[in-house]
Structures are given as C-alpha cells and as structure tokens.
Amino acid sequence: MSIWNILPKVSSWFSLQLGYQYAEFKLEFDALYCLESTEDFEQRWNQVVSLFGLGSDKHIALLNNLRESWALSYVRVHFLARMATTAYSKSADAFLKGIFSAQSCWHCSQFTNQPHQEMQYMPMKTCLPIEEHSRQILTPFAFNALQHELIVSMQYAASEMSNGSYLVRHFRKIDGECLVIQIPEDEQIHCSSKEFESSGILCRHALRVFIDKNYFQLPDKYLLSRWRRESSLMFYDDHSVHDKDDEWFQEFHSLTETLFKASSTTKERSDYIHRELTKELTRILNEVRDMPESHGAPMDFTLTPTD
C-alpha cells in the first residue's frame, strides 16, 4: 500500500471519529509522512496516536503495520525512480485517463507523433555549467527534476566541518540540515537525505557541495543510464536493437495512425473498425501462435501491402 492509496482514504477513516480535530490530525499525518528518519517517525507516530486517542483504531493499526510501504523514512532506502513524488502521481493519473478516454488511441497517436524537437525542448534556467552538461545527456523528465534541484540549491549554504564533511541548510532554515560527505578521490558524494539512492537524481544538498567545489559537470556515476536520452525509448529483442528509424516500426506506426484517424470521426466508424479489427487480429494471432518458434537468425518482419 503506497501513500497514494492511503491519502484518498484518510478523510473517510478519521474525519467522523475526530470531528473538529481532524484538520489538526491531517497536518500531523502529512508531517509524519515527510519525516526523513525512521527513529523520528517512530517517536512522533506514538505521540500522534496518543494525542488523538487512536490507540485502538483499526486503521491506525493497519497504517502502522504497513508503515514500511508508505512512510517516506522507510521507502526512501529503496530505488523508486521518483515514482513516489506528487508530480509523478499526477502525470501517471493524467496519462492513464487519456489512455482510457473515448478517443484514447487517437490521443496516443498524437502524443507519439509529436516532433522530436518539441519533445526535447528544455530551456536553461541557471546558466550553471552543470545544468548545460546535464541537458545534453538527460531525458526531459530527468533533466527537469535535476534542474529543479539546481535552482533550489541556490537557497542553501554548505558549511565545511573539520572532518571534511558538510552541513547543508536552507538560508531560512525551513527544513532540517543535511550531512553531505564527499570523497574527492572517487568522485563520490553521499547525503543523509538519501534522495539519490531513492530517485536516482542528485538532491539540492549534494548539488550545493558540487557547485561550491567548482564542478563544471557531474560525475558520470550520478547520471544514471535509465535517465539518459541515449538509453530511453529503445526497443530490444533477443537478436537486435530497433531504433525509431526502423523501417518496420515506422510503417506499422503509419498504418495504425491512419486507421485511428479514420475511426475517430464518427461512432459508427469507430464501432465498425473496433469490431472488424478485433476479429482480424484474433485470427492473425491464432495463426502466429500455431507457427513454429525460430531460434535461429532474426527473420525479416517488414510489412508489405497485400490484397
């Protein structure tokens, strides 16, 4: 159970029981989720449960038993690739609603057929060499996340300690300070926030130290393969790699796009194509399944017009 499964249910679970105290409880619950230390979470959780008299509540017991799957202090030790962020949740929700809308296939066709240049446009916002270097390597999603951290890092100060580590804190002290350890010999950096270990994107605290140490680009190890443009949207099989210029893929995409355009004009067309296409694809799929599997060289799957 993730936090996104829990949040919509919190009101129905506790609002009636707590009455006018519910608003205060919700603030405390949100703060609990954001705590970075498991020790802090355990201590504060017990305080909140006691404060609102929820020791015997079944939903509190459920949340406590499943805390390792939703509380940030527990889940951030796992690599989640930013899937636990609000932005990802909203993006995924909007995308899935588009998928299941009445003209979903046509929307998907429009999305995948956007010009490459438009999809890749990523403006600079800081003029930092690190930003320029990252923009050349990262996908738009990853670059936007890193760029946000770079911008926010400008509001933080790094104080070097006697042992060579750094205490990094916001100038208004709106959040707790983080301990950053840099190992120059191996170009390693570690932050107590564990953001990189969780999302694969360096946090503002680590970036603040890199900037102060006059780094013009991030070490390669902090630009993960999953976030690089050269690694995204590639199609693999057992024999070869097919990129976006593959002739078979382009021809197949063109045929399906034309079909979806034609079907989206009226409900009668849409129903007809859906009915006939389902029957035809089922027939083809059954025939393909009856064919012997090949373990030799890859066959030529290029589409050719037939009567």
pLDDT, the chain, mean: 77
User: Which bin fits 216, alpha (ψ -120 to 50), beta or left (φ > 0)?
Assistant: alpha
Query: Which tops the pLDDT comparison, 165 or 118?
Result: 165
| Phi, psi (deg, nearest 5) at residue 76 | -70, -10
Closest by CA to 14, choosing from 5, 28, 26, is: 26
Q: Which residues contact 196 (CB under 8 A, 6 or more apart)?
A: 202, 203, 206, 222
pLDDT digits (tens, 9 = 90+) for 184-210: 888 999 998 888 887 889 999 999 999
User: Can you give the pLDDT at residue 160?
Assistant: 92
User: Can you give the pLDDT at residue 234?
Assistant: 43
97, pLDDT greater than 80: no
Task: Retrieve residue 189's tokens.
Answer: 């950096």
CB 112 within 8 A of CB 253: yes
pLDDT digits (tens, 9 = 90+) for 11-41: 999 989 899 999 999 999 888 887 877 888 8
pTM of the model: 0.51
CB 235 within 8 A of CB 241: yes
Sheet holding 156-160, edge to edge: 156-160, 166-170, 178-183, 188-191
Query: What percent of the chain shows pLDDT beyond 70?
Result: 71
pLDDT digits (tens, 9 = 90+) for 232-290: 554 444 444 444 445 666 677 677 777 766 766 677 877 788 788 888 888 888 888 78
pLDDT digits (tens, 9 = 90+) for 63-75: 988 888 777 777 7
133, pLDDT greater than 50: yes
